[in-house]
Amino acid sequence: MKTILSFVAVCFITLTVSAQEFKFETETIDYGKVVLGSEGKRVFEFTNVGDAPLIIEDIKSTCGCTVPTKPEKPIMPGEKGQIEVSYDTKRPGGFSKAITIISNAKKKRKMVKIKGFIVKS
């Protein structure tokens, strides 16, 4: 009986330790058609739906043409946070890029995407 209770206690503690979680308003930002050389900044907004502070440790993009900026402070439970992404709009044509977010959430890596089409004016 003690073994079963100990096992249940360990499982419960394990589940509550990793209670950070975040939910994005959208996981893909579609730039649509943008004019060559125009503003390339967009913002991913999310909410910490967990019960512990959410810490964004690092953000990586698939190329140097996409520059993400992570929040410097922890996002408290129930609070909103933002990740700003800048895309270099100096090359015409379509694009689709992935941004990987590394955090202390239950799922350590989260991927969001940007896409669009750059046209000459």
Q: What is the dihedral of CA 101, 102, 108, 112, to 10 degrees?
A: 10
Which residue, chain included where needed, has tokens 């909103």? 80
Whether the pLDDT of residue 6 is over 70: the answer is no
Model pTM above 0.85 = no
| Nearest in space to 109 (alpha carbons), one of 119, 98, 117, 120 | 98
For domain 2-119, give its CATH number from 3.30.70.1230, 1.10.443.10, 3.40.50.1980, 2.60.40.10: 2.60.40.10
Whether the pLDDT of residue 20 is over 70: the answer is yes
Q: pLDDT (tens digit, 9 = 90+) per residue, 47-58? A: 999 999 999 999
Element (H, E) at 77: none
Q: pLDDT (tens digit, 9 = 90+) per residue, 27-37? A: 999 999 999 99
Q: What was the pLDDT predicted at 114? A: 97
Report residue 3 as tokens.
Answer: 């073994």
Q: Is 115 left (phi over 0), alpha (psi -120 to 50) or beta?
A: beta
Burial of 54 (0-12, 13-18, 19+ CB in 10 A): buried
